[in-house]
Structure 1
Amino acid sequence: MRSLQNITLWLTALIIITVSGLSAQTQAQDIQVPVIEDGQAQVIPEFEDPENWIRHDLWVETEFDSDGNGKPDRMHVAVTRPEQTESGDLKLPVIYETSPYYAGTAQPPFDFFWNVKHEIGEEPPARKAGPDVQRRGERPIISNSLIKTWVPRGFIVVHSSSPGTGLSQGSPTVGGDNESLAPKAVIEWLNGRAKGYTTPDGNEEVEAYWTTGQVGMTGTSYNGTLPLAAATTGVEGLEAIIPVAPNTSYYHYYRSNGLVRSPGGYLGEDVDVLYDFIHSGAEEYRTRNNRVVRDSIIAGGIDRISGDYNDFWAGRDYLNDLGPLEAPVLMAHAFNDWNVMPEHSYRIYKALKEKGVETMVYYHQGGHGGQPPLWLMNMWFTRYLYDVENGVEDLPRAWITREDDERDQPTSYPDYPHPAAQDVTFYLSGNAPERGTLTTETTTNAGTETFMDNVSFDGTALAKAEWTNHRLMYVSEPLSDSLHISGVPSITVKLASSKPSANLSVWLVALPWEEGRGAQITDNIITRGWADPQNHESLTESEPLEPGKFYTITFDLQPDDQIIPPGQQLGLMIFSSDQEYTLHPQPGTELTVDLDGTMLTLPIVGGNEAWE
């Protein structure tokens, strides 16, 4: 590990500032741009006053027509830049954020979500269509995000509304190709290869003469997905991205190993629900967009009956589109993000490393959102947008905020997972309906244990219970020393069901369960996962379970990096319907687990030796 306190001294010795294509001391009214200290772009006094910023908007023409009116869609774009760029003598790089949320979203009551109270594998109750979104905001301001941070440091900030939202033309597709091609068009315009216009339908052109064309993108959640989407087009001029809590696969967001599963906090949400939530575009095209996109393409693809992975989901999985991506990527996520779960960033980070793309990852221990420390973002953008050789590519690859530390004070590691992490396998001994044992000693003839599904009890209640016949719990001995888990746990479950279909949910928890004001987000749930036993052989094809027959299914839990303190016990909980995430079938399904065929694998720093 490299301590954060030594980073500044280390960088100061390393940095040799050279700027390719843009002088490190570009003069515009005797202003030095950029000003670099410790590898970071510093605030320039002449750029600090918002009264001296130029703000204007325009429409960039794309290569698609997603609202079907026979004309290429135009995206609404807003620019904020220092007044010193107006003459064209000073050209600055751009930090760009795009979003479907800027112009407003559907408002409560959210009665247009799917009803999850039905049997697994059955046709769900019809969903009520969402309300018309009331567009908010007036031109030229689309958003004020990023501006106060980056304009004073010598960057231009650009925002755009996604297709079919706000004053951007087209239709939302929630992961369709137009959501990748829209920001691509804006970047092409910033580099003089696409046309921008002063109005959505006029012919008066606007040129981006005030920029170098070097663009970086960032954003959080959906706004973090779109930088990755743009980068998968390989568009020239997109030099670096920082996706924060990005949804990198709509299948992984709304399904889990064949199971219909909601994102945390949004029970019953799906692609069509999100479409209704964001559709704030022109009223005259909404009926057509709903019919063609929502009620045809999306309705025909989401398959809430089987939950299988199909062509619709494959087309909304950015892991499948990484071929053209070359822009350096700084991923950011939280290990306790149960909305856009941490697997979303890890799967892309892992693939980009294998592809040879310059990449880095930042994780913290909180919930949804949370960008990297400003100094790290600054170094990333300064390196790739100003071409300053600040050594960021030589820094450790992984930055993880430890449990009791502030988010802007992460600990550095050579990589994630921790290079010293080794898989340790745990086995089960039963004591249902009370707690059994979790041990690294292989068990034989451990028999079977049965529990009954009952969604009336939430996961927390089941985890806290000393005994219940609605879950199985296996607990380790109390830890004599701290235990560092780093990586992706996995589980193999051999089970039989009394019905042809059943939910399967797994939580790994730390016990005793902590409650009250002093409880932290890292105290209780270590990680969790969900799967459909009907997909025990294939993610793309499920098969009904033969009641009473045993099947074996193996799947990953969510990635984690957590240090469990001494005195805690690891608890593996296996249950069926998860009240906050899965469908809610009628209680009564019995699941029987063969303990000899069931095991948990944990990536532990130091491996078996550390566990012992």
Structure 2
Amino acid sequence: MIKKYIKASALALIFSAATISFAQEKTVPVFENGEAQKVEGFSNYKDYIRHDLWVETTFNTDGDDTLDRVHVSVTRPKQTDTEGLKLPIVYVTSPYFAGVAPDVPGIMWDVEHELGEPAKTERVHPEVTRLGERPIISNSHIASWVPRGYIVVHSSSPGTGLSQGSPTVGGPNEALAPKAVIDWLNGRAKGYTTPDGDEEVEAFWSTGKVGMTGTSYNGTLPLAAATTGVDGLEAIIPIAPNTSSYHYYRSNGLVRSPGGYLGEDIDVLYDFIHSGDESKRPYNNKTVRDTEMANGMDRETGDLNDFWNDRDYLNQMDGMKAALLMSHGFNDWNVMPEHSNRIYQKAKAMGLPTQLYYHQNGHGGPPPMTMMNRWFTHYLHGIDNGVENDPQVKIVRENDKPNNPTSYTAYPNPEAENVTLYLNKGGNEVGPLTTLRSKKQKTETLEDDFNISGKQHAQAEKSKHRLLYATKTLKQDVHISGESTITISLSSSKAAANLSVMLVSLPYTDDPEVITDNIITRGWADPQNYKSLTESEPLEKGTFYDMTFNLQPDDQIIKAGQQIGLIIFSSDKEFTIHPKPGTKLKVDLDKTSITLPVVGGLDVLKKALE
């Protein structure tokens, strides 16, 4: 029988009928079907208590002689004052709350230059005009969670808004700042009424149980906080998080922009969010942007180094304890789906409570409210709703609604098996892509031209600027789940070259009646890094180099009537540096293949191709 009202734990001490009658008049969280319900007594936003404060951190990153304090705002039901009610916290932190830099010409890096050479023009550094007034940092998430019996807390990241310090875009202070706030919510750190005063503020209304969520950068920071292992952070829901600055701005040794932001790099993002104290900006710029970032980011080679490793949360997860529910889109070409998959895989291997929600759209997209509600209800309110036994993975199938995902036991689909496809000559038109290796296919050549988009490459019947190989038309649906892997052997006419790969459904058309999704997955790599991501070397003309790398993870059903196509080209108009057209890449077909994770394996694919 469903319990419509579950009282706070203090009610267990009620013994007399008169006391019970009095207690029932109090406003307390209500749960049905394992989810926190909206309660009328928590739903009048005019009654909410809103105030701000500054929490003292353990670091100093803006050049003065005091520890940085971060600006925090609190929104809580009045009953936390009038009835002594203590509640758990949904916490959101962000570098964006106080505004961002204008998108002026020149803020991005110039990409019109040869590989390995510096940009022809310097970037401009627009200043951020700070927005917002205290005590309200943000109104996000309040309408969703306060009526359900939570307190919502916001904070501005270091060096943004009214928070002290400097932005570092993945540096230690961006993890330690939310840790300090969680410590304050648990009575272990100090909060003050002003950024430089000594009048303290206590979180007397907090149970100490904290859950974090957010999207994109705001989804990165919950993971950052969780890697500190801070006590009290019970659960996080990162949505499309950037889990590695290297994976965001580089790809297998290649300088590669996030989709939609050609020329962006880590220092661009620093400028974009630097909305903190104007008097501290010169020191921050010199120390972080113009020294640490300038010396570490390396746009010439794109190699992996200590600067990038220090900004990869996968390397920092060993102390993580928080229950993890992640959400991502398979067609997110900004923060690509690998960012969540790599964290999910390690969290699962660590034995952490883990769930994953994937959809077929682009950047952003939270899990259904019922998933998030059950997650926070269990881990923050302590309600035994069995969420830990829910299906570990939910994926929105093609054309389904976001709130109607299909359940799976894991990702990739446990029934997926690697199937290798081989290239056959004819790629300047459309060469066959087959399950059997043919002998003596020799080499085929493409000529780089960044002016041609990936879509144009896919739609061209014939082109010297790409190689295209396709299966026969599918007679049955084929389900791909996981990471595809390409092994390629190539030579270059120049010492450096871009390498771009797309796996597509053909015919490539925008007609949804014909095809559900043109792009299955894609990837990029620097042939100079054929030995290692940490070491690149110039390519010798006429010498073939072998490399293997993964494409972005995907879970897609390719419908009968379509073909699976592999496109190999050089510069990607939307993502890579644009060297002068003309570089020739020669591909050895006999040593090149693509491996697909097919649900049901080779037998299923063969039947679909018969």
Provide the TM-score with structure 2 as the length reference: 0.96
Aligned to 1:34: 29
What amino acid maps onto 2:400 in structure 1?
D
Aligned to 2:597: 603
What amino acid maps onto 1:437 in structure 2?
P
Does residue 272 (structure 1) correspond to residue 267 (structure 2)? The answer is yes
Aligned to 1:229: 224
* Alignment counterpart, residue 559 of structure 1, candidates 523, 542, 553: 553
Does residue 428 (structure 1) correspond to residue 446 (structure 2)? The answer is no
**Does the Cα contact within 8 Å between 1:498 and 1:547 map onto a contact in 2?**
yes
- In 1: Cα distance, 2:328 partner to 2:457 partner: 28
Q: What secondary structure sits across from 2:177 in the alignment?
A: helix
The 5 Å alignment of 1:460-609 reads 460-515=455-510, 522-609=516-603
- In 1: Cα distance, 2:182 partner to 2:356 partner: 25
- Tell me the CA shift for residue 17 of structure 1: 10
- Tell me the CA shift for residue 30 of structure 1: 2.2
Aligned to 2:380: 385
**Does the Cα contact within 8 Å between 2:219 and 2:242 map onto a contact in 1?**
yes
What amino acid maps onto 2:320 in structure 1?
L
Would the alpha carbon gap of residues 163 and 519 (structure 1) be closer, same or farther in structure 2, given more than 3 Å must change? farther
Does residue 83 (structure 1) correspond to residue 83 (structure 2)? The answer is no
**Does the Cα contact within 8 Å between 1:501 and 1:534 map onto a contact in 2?**
yes
Structure 1 residues 311-343: Cα deviation after superposition (integer angstroms, max 9, x where no partner): 000000000000110111001000000000000
The 5 Å alignment of 1:4-83 reads 30-83=25-78
Aligned to 1:106: 101
**Does the Cα contact within 8 Å between 2:27 and 2:41 map onto a contact in 1?**
no
Structure 1 residues 535-566: Cα deviation after superposition (integer angstroms, max 9, x where no partner): 11101011111111001010000000001111
Would the alpha carbon gap of residues 25 and 114 (structure 1) be closer, same or farther in structure 2, given more than 3 Å must change? farther
The 5 Å alignment of 1:289-304 reads 289-304=284-299
- Tell me the CA shift for residue 379 of structure 1: 0.2
- In 2: Cα distance, 1:22 partner to 1:551 partner: 69
Q: What secondary structure sits across from 2:450 in the alignment?
A: coil
What amino acid maps onto 2:551 in structure 1?
L
- Tell me the CA shift for residue 447 of structure 1: 1.0
- Tell me the CA shift for residue 444 of structure 1: 1.4
Question: Which piece of structure 1 moves more, 353-362 or 81-90?
Answer: 81-90
**Does the Cα contact within 8 Å between 1:18 and 1:24 map onto a contact in 2?**
no
Q: Give the alignment's Cα RMSD to 1 decimal.
A: 1.8
What amino acid maps onto 2:480 in structure 1?
I
What amino acid maps onto 1:185 in structure 2?
A
- Tell me the CA shift for residue 34 of structure 1: 2.3
- In 1: Cα distance, 2:559 partner to 2:12 partner: 49
Aligned to 2:411: 416
Q: What secondary structure sits across from 1:158 in the alignment?
A: strand
Would the alpha carbon gap of residues 135 and 292 (structure 1) be closer, same or farther in structure 2, given more than 3 Å must change? same
- In 2: Cα distance, 1:441 partner to 1:552 partner: 21
- In 1: Cα distance, 2:530 partner to 2:420 partner: 21
Would the alpha carbon gap of residues 145 and 518 (structure 1) be closer, same or farther in structure 2, given more than 3 Å must change? farther
**Does the Cα contact within 8 Å between 1:17 and 1:388 map onto a contact in 2?**
no
- In 1: Cα distance, 2:328 partner to 2:392 partner: 14
Does residue 320 (structure 1) correspond to residue 315 (structure 2)? The answer is yes
The 5 Å alignment of 1:438-477 reads 438-477=433-472
What amino acid maps onto 1:146 in structure 2?
H
What amino acid maps onto 1:606 in structure 2?
G
- In 1: Cα distance, 2:302 partner to 2:4 partner: 53
**Does the Cα contact within 8 Å between 1:75 and 1:167 map onto a contact in 2?**
yes
Aligned to 1:349: 344
- In 2: Cα distance, 1:266 partner to 1:397 partner: 33
What amino acid maps onto 1:294 in structure 2?
R
Gap regions ≥5 residues in structure 1: 1-11
Q: What secondary structure sits across from 2:383 in the alignment?
A: coil
What amino acid maps onto 1:582 in structure 2?
T
**Does the Cα contact within 8 Å between 1:453 and 1:577 map onto a contact in 2?**
yes
- Tell me the CA shift for residue 129 of structure 1: 3.1
Q: What secondary structure sits across from 1:202 in the alignment?
A: coil
What amino acid maps onto 1:577 in structure 2?
S
- Tell me the CA shift for residue 432 of structure 1: 3.6
* Alignment counterpart, residue 150 of structure 1, candidates 145, 151, 171: 145
Gap regions ≥5 residues in structure 2: 15-21
- Tell me the CA shift for residue 516 of structure 1: 5.1
**Does the Cα contact within 8 Å between 1:24 and 1:34 map onto a contact in 2?**
no
Q: What secondary structure sits across from 2:296 in the alignment?
A: coil
**Does the Cα contact within 8 Å between 1:24 and 1:33 map onto a contact in 2?**
no
- In 1: Cα distance, 2:475 partner to 2:167 partner: 53
The 5 Å alignment of 1:239-250 reads 239-250=234-245
Q: What secondary structure sits across from 1:65 in the alignment?
A: coil
The 5 Å alignment of 1:133-212 reads 133-212=128-207
Would the alpha carbon gap of residues 529 and 344 (structure 1) be closer, same or farther in structure 2, given more than 3 Å must change? same
Does residue 97 (structure 1) correspond to residue 92 (structure 2)? The answer is yes
What amino acid maps onto 1:533 in structure 2?
P
Q: What secondary structure sits across from 2:595 in the alignment?
A: strand
Does residue 255 (structure 1) correspond to residue 240 (structure 2)? The answer is no
**Does the Cα contact within 8 Å between 2:8 and 2:28 map onto a contact in 1?**
no
Aligned to 1:9: none
Structure 1 residues 502-557: Cα deviation after superposition (integer angstroms, max 9, x where no partner): 0000000000111258687x421110000000111101011111111001010000
- In 2: Cα distance, 1:54 partner to 1:78 partner: 10
- In 1: Cα distance, 2:264 partner to 2:391 partner: 38
- Tell me the CA shift for residue 211 of structure 1: 1.0
- Tell me the CA shift for residue 122 of structure 1: 1.2
- In 2: Cα distance, 1:416 partner to 1:597 partner: 30
What amino acid maps onto 1:529 in structure 2?
G
| Runs of 4+ more than 4 Å apart | 15-29, 516-520
Provide the TM-score with structure 1 as the length reference: 0.95
Question: Which piece of structure 1 moves more, 28-37 or 153-162?
Answer: 28-37
What amino acid maps onto 1:63 in structure 2?
T
- Tell me the CA shift for residue 430 of structure 1: 1.1
- In 1: Cα distance, 2:514 partner to 2:29 partner: 45
Aligned to 1:398: 393
**Does the Cα contact within 8 Å between 1:88 and 1:209 map onto a contact in 2?**
no
What amino acid maps onto 2:524 in structure 1?
W
